[in-house]
Amino acid sequence: MATEKILVIEDEEPIRELLKLTLESAGYSGVYMAANGENGLSLAQSRLPDLILLDLMLPGMDGLSVCRQLKSQEETRAIPIIMLTARSEESDVIIGLELGAVDYITKPFSRKILIARIRAQLRQFSDVEESNEIRRDGLMIRIDQHEVRLHGKLLDLTPSEFSILHMLVSYPGRVYTRNQIITRVKGDGYPVTERAIDVQILNLRRKLGDWAVNVDTVRGVGYRYKQESTE
Amino acid sequence: MATEKILVIEDEEPIRELLKLTLESAGYSGVYMAANGENGLSLAQSRLPDLILLDLMLPGMDGLSVCRQLKSQEETRAIPIIMLTARSEESDVIIGLELGAVDYITKPFSRKILIARIRAQLRQFSDVEESNEIRRDGLMIRIDQHEVRLHGKLLDLTPSEFSILHMLVSYPGRVYTRNQIITRVKGDGYPVTERAIDVQILNLRRKLGDWAVNVDTVRGVGYRYKQESTE
DNA sequence: ATACTACCCTCAAAATTTTCGTTGTGACAT
DNA sequence: ATGTCACAACGAAAATTTTGAGGGTAGTAT
């Protein structure tokens, strides 16, 4: 039985119920519900959930504002946020990701996808951070040596390729926009076309060979490391 | 009459006296003295001086540790530190700069240089920060446009050249090591030779033409923007 | 189904950055 | 003064990154 607490912020009653049932049947016992941004924020602060499902289209304070608030406060900053969004709100998705949300799901969604995405995010916390080594499906990254091995064989990556791969692989399932990648790799405000990232990804995929299947293109949004679609 | 508070941390009695007299005769009325690192730290915290002169060679807690402490605390982090050092302690100087000290003076020093360096640092606070424009001797930098004009004429700088110039010009008199430049321009841990910075500086000087006289090489240490030597 | 549109992929040229080998220069000791 | 050493300047080639254009493709509308 999963013990993680999940907060759902969603105004539409039927969807809220659907989410609640889906989550509970997936074994999550600590599910909190909020029907608007204000309640969502205060619940987030009082319950400190392990994950937040946030509808972007809310009455009153909209989802992006809620996201911004959550990210601006120390206690809630680290909580992963998955956005729920209509197909048409793609530009909001990008803004949300750049604010720090980790993923998004478009409505209507299948229960399987919903659960898979949530699991992917919660799984994070087991093996996170600050180690000098990351291993993923036969790929090994030694961070301070700037060294990548695939099935033991050393890959010859350029500095940018290394950074991008490291960024993607650090948070499986998290989508990064091209702008986030540029900011991370070249610094903020670096004057550069988004196409440059495509090319870096292209070359990276070539060097990764078969393993490149783990680098997903998220159309209209950016790139991510391995979100097995389960679709 | 200068009203800035200056804290001197220096163990040798005669030098301490010399510094006190020099500073006071230069018009600085708020001069505090400490003979060791511990006292220095506590004075720094209680008086919050506008500038600290820090001898690197101290009994007990050494100067670099004091520097590290000062930089690790919110209240004192922003106080500019000028290190006092014997000619032979060059590697300590580099460490100090990378910890965040802004300048250093080798002993023995002339009073004129001492005062000039101190003035240069304190002057900072008048015109600091967060504007989108920096002007210095006919050079104008528009930060968010990534645009540099020399006597009105637009210079064609590469992104790295721009960053380096911006970095240097932001703090007149502050010495930056090649490593600091690499970290700022390419990000931390970027695998690159220090020689690469020489070349960037070389090309920058070419594009700057006559104005390049303002870009000083500090032998054995790094580069800085215009410290009129007064020597 | 077909067309349309927006977006991604790809390639090769152009721009930038880095490396490396030499040469120049300052600081210091002889 | 001269030699020596360490470091900076410089040039040219190599490596990397970026651009820009064209072709392909997924997703949507017709």
Residue B172, preceding peptide bond in cis (omega within 30° of 0)? no
Percent residues over pLDDT 90 in chain A: 75
B177 CB neighbours strand C below 7 A: no
Nearest in space to A44 (alpha carbons), one of A52, A35, A55:
A52
pLDDT at B16 over 60: yes
Is B64 exposed, middle or buried, given 0-12, 13-18 or 19+ CB atoms closer than 10 A? buried
Angle among Cα A9, A14, A18 to the nearest 5 degrees reads 75
pLDDT of residue A53: 96
What's the token pair of residue B79?
């106080």
Q: What is the pLDDT of residues A8-25, one digit of tens each?
A: 999 999 999 999 999 999
Pick the CATH number of A2-126 from 3.40.50.2300, 2.60.40.10, 1.10.600.10, 3.30.365.10: 3.40.50.2300
Three-state secondary structure string covering A31-64: EEEECCHHHHHHHHHHHCCCEEEEECCCCCCCHH
pLDDT of residue A131: 76
Residue span(s) of chain A under CATH 1.10.10.10 come to: 133-225
Are A187 and B185 inside 8 Å of each other by CB?
Answer: yes
B219 CB neighbours strand C below 7 A: yes
Task: Give the CA count within 13 Å in the CB-facing half-sphere of A108.
Answer: 4
Contacts of A163 in chain B (CB under 8 A): 187
- How many other β-carbons are positioned within 10 Å of the β-carbon of residue A177? 21
pLDDT at B128 over 90: no
The two beta strands, A103-107 and A81-86, are: parallel
pLDDT band at B195 (very low <50, low <70, confident <90, very high): very high
**DSSP line for A122-177:** HHHHHH-SS-SEEEETTEEEETTTTEEEETTEEE---HHHHHHHHHHHHSTT-EEE
B87 CB neighbours strand C below 7 A: yes
**DSSP line for B148-173:** EEETTEEE---HHHHHHHHHHHHSTT
pLDDT of residue A42: 96
- Alpha-carbon distance of A52 to A105, in angstroms, equals 12
- Ranking A102-116, A195-209, B20-34 by mean pLDDT, the lowest is A102-116
What's the token pair of residue B122?
């304190």
User: Are residues A78 and A44 in contact, defined by beta-carbon separation less than 8 angstroms?
Assistant: no
**Residues 6 or more apart whose Cβ sits within 8 Å of residue B131:** none
- Alpha-carbon distance of A215 to A224, in angstroms, equals 6
- Distance between the alpha carbon (CA) of B192 and the C1' atom of C14, Å: 23
Q: What is the pLDDT of residues A89-139, one digit of tens each?
A: 788 999 999 999 999 998 888 888 899 899 989 887 655 556 789 999 999
User: Are residues B44 and B7 in contact, defined by beta-carbon separation less than 8 angstroms?
Assistant: yes
Distance from CA of A142 to the nearest CA of B (A): 12
A192 CB neighbours strand C below 7 A: no
Nearest in space to B11 (alpha carbons), one of B107, B79, B124:
B107
pLDDT of residue A125: 64
pLDDT of residue B88: 67
Percent residues over pLDDT 70 in chain B: 94
Residue span(s) of chain A under CATH 3.40.50.2300 come to: 2-126
Q: What is the pLDDT of residues A80-100, one digit of tens each?
A: 999 999 876 788 999 999 999
Task: Give the CA count within 13 Å in the CB-facing half-sphere of B144.
Answer: 3
Are B144 and A185 inside 8 Å of each other by CB?
Answer: no
Q: Tell me, what amino acid is at A159?
A: P
With 0.85 as the threshold, say if the pTM is over it: no
The mean per-residue pLDDT over the stretch B15-40 comes to 93
pLDDT band at B58 (very low <50, low <70, confident <90, very high): very high
Arithmetic mean of pLDDT over chain B: 90
At the second CATH level, the architecture of B133-225 is Orthogonal Bundle (1.10)
**Residues 6 or more apart whose Cβ sits within 8 Å of residue A79:** A44, A48, A49, A50, A51, A52, A70
Which nucleotide is the nearest neighbour of B205, by CA and C1'?
D9
Q: What is the pLDDT of residues B92-122, one digit of tens each?
A: 899 999 999 999 998 888 888 899 899 888 8
User: Are residues A6 and A47 in contact, defined by beta-carbon separation less than 8 angstroms?
Assistant: no
Are B187 and A187 inside 8 Å of each other by CB?
Answer: yes
Decide which of A184 and B108 is more confident.
A184
What's the token pair of residue B102?
């802004």
Which residues of A, range 12-51, sit inside 8 Å of B by Cβ? none
Strand B147-150's sheet: what is its strand order? Answer: B133-136, B139-142, B147-150, B153-155
C-alpha B61 chain-centroid distance:
23
